[in-house]
Amino acid sequence: MRNIIVFIRVYFTFFIFIFFLGLSLALLFRYNKYHNAVYSEAASEITGMLSTQYNNVAYYFELKRVNDSLVKANEALYNKLKADFEIADTAENAIIDALSVDSLNVFRKFLYREAKVVRNSVSQPNNYIIVHRGRNQGVRDEMGVIAPNGGVVGTVVQSSSNFSMIMSLLHSQSNVSGRLKKGGETGTVIWDGKHRNVLLLKDITKSARISQGDSVITSGFSYKFPEGLMLGTVIDIINDKSSSTYTVRIKPAVDFEDLQFVYLIENLQAAEPNELQKNIKNK
């Protein structure tokens, strides 16, 4: 017994070392999925508050760019107004859609909420964006996030009372279903953790005709994003002869460094398909 106590006393520092190292690694590998961040309420509120203070200053240096992007977004919305379209031919009947007076929000599928970015990173292999809007302001996990220019930014992974964490497309576990706008071939958009200006569109059949500059949009297969949001444009094709599919390098539609505002997308009709999926799994 005495020997054991002596042994422990002699190597006590080493045990402390092992304890702290083990604690760190346990925290890091706690979850296999992207929830590896045990993002506690207190830590998130404190760091969020500090980041907000910092962003109050940093925001001024971006005002010009933010303004420009908002003017562009407004322009796009103006061009979708009903008053912009007129049918000259009276023989053609304009179809009045019931949706135009959907005042009860019965048919609404996607609801957008703005959020201020307070913290952003692009240099890590797993990048998160923190926004000043949390559970109390209607944020839920798995909500899609887009930038003012309509490009996809990422997915909400955690939220505390007033702040939320967004897994950006620049994350090793990010996985968004994408489609080539021209041909309609679908694939998966991932990131390899290297260049922040290059995303990868995987699993595109080799019959697809792809040229530089083609648009890649969201496929609408996931419940997070509406169909047709910009993911990026094609840079080139990685021709892997051993594989039966193409991997396409694409340039993201969003400049992740300059994000100041984002929109969180809530799918109001996601409950039913989710329920169906759960039922299938249980069978």
Partner 1 sequence: MSTLVRNIVRFILFILVQVFVLNQIPPLHHLVVPYLYFLFILWLPFKTGRRTLLVLGFLLGFSLDAFTGTFGLHSAPCVVIAYLRPFLIKLLLPREEVEVNFREPSAWSLGVAPYLTYVTILTFVHHTILFFLQALQTGGLVYFLVKSLFSTAVSLLLVLLTELLFNRKQGLKVNLV
Shortest Cβ 252–partner 1 spacing (Å):
14
Per CB under 8 A, the list member of 7, 8, 11, 43 interacting with partner 1 is 43
| By CB under 8 A, residue 94 contacts partner 1 | no
| By CB under 8 A, residue 192 contacts partner 1 | yes
Task: Find the Cα–Cα–Cα–Cα dihedral 252, 155, 110, 276, rounded to 10°.
Answer: 120
| Closer residue to partner 1 in complex, CB, 31/107 | 31
Under rule CB under 8 A, which residues in 252-281 are in contact with partner 1? 257
How many positions of this chain bind partner 1 (CB under 8 A)? 42
Task: Name residue, tokens 């002596």.
Answer: 6
Per-position b or e across 233-260, b if 16+ CB within 10 A of its CB = ebeebeeeeeeeebbbbbebbbebeebb
Binding mask 4-23 for partner 1 (x = CB under 8 A): --------xx--xx--xx-x
Using the rule CB under 8 A, give the single segment among 31-39, 176-184, 239-247, 267-275 that binds partner 1. 31-39
Structure tokens at 139: 């944020």
Per CB under 8 A, the list member of 6, 8, 26, 71 interacting with partner 1 is 26
Per CB under 8 A, the list member of 47, 137, 177, 188 interacting with partner 1 is 47
| Closer residue to partner 1 in complex, CB, 50/63 | 50
Question: Which residues fall within 8 angstroms of residue 270, CB to CB, at 6 or more apart?
Answer: 223
In angstroms, the CA 278 to CA 281 distance is 5
Per CB under 8 A, the list member of 49, 58, 66, 208 interacting with partner 1 is 58
| By CB under 8 A, residue 238 contacts partner 1 | no
Per CB under 8 A, the list member of 126, 177, 245, 247 interacting with partner 1 is 126
Shortest Cβ 102–partner 1 spacing (Å):
38
| Closer residue to partner 1 in complex, CB, 46/71 | 46
| Closer residue to partner 1 in complex, CB, 21/94 | 21
Per CB under 8 A, the list member of 5, 10, 29, 239 interacting with partner 1 is 29
| Closer residue to partner 1 in complex, CB, 124/205 | 124
Task: Name residue, tokens 């939220």.
Answer: 159
Per CB under 8 A, the list member of 115, 118, 119, 218 interacting with partner 1 is 119
Name the residues that contact partner 1, by CB under 8 A. Answer: 12-13, 16-17, 20-21, 23-29, 36-39, 43, 46-47, 50-51, 54, 58, 119, 121-126, 128, 130, 165, 172-173, 192-196, 257
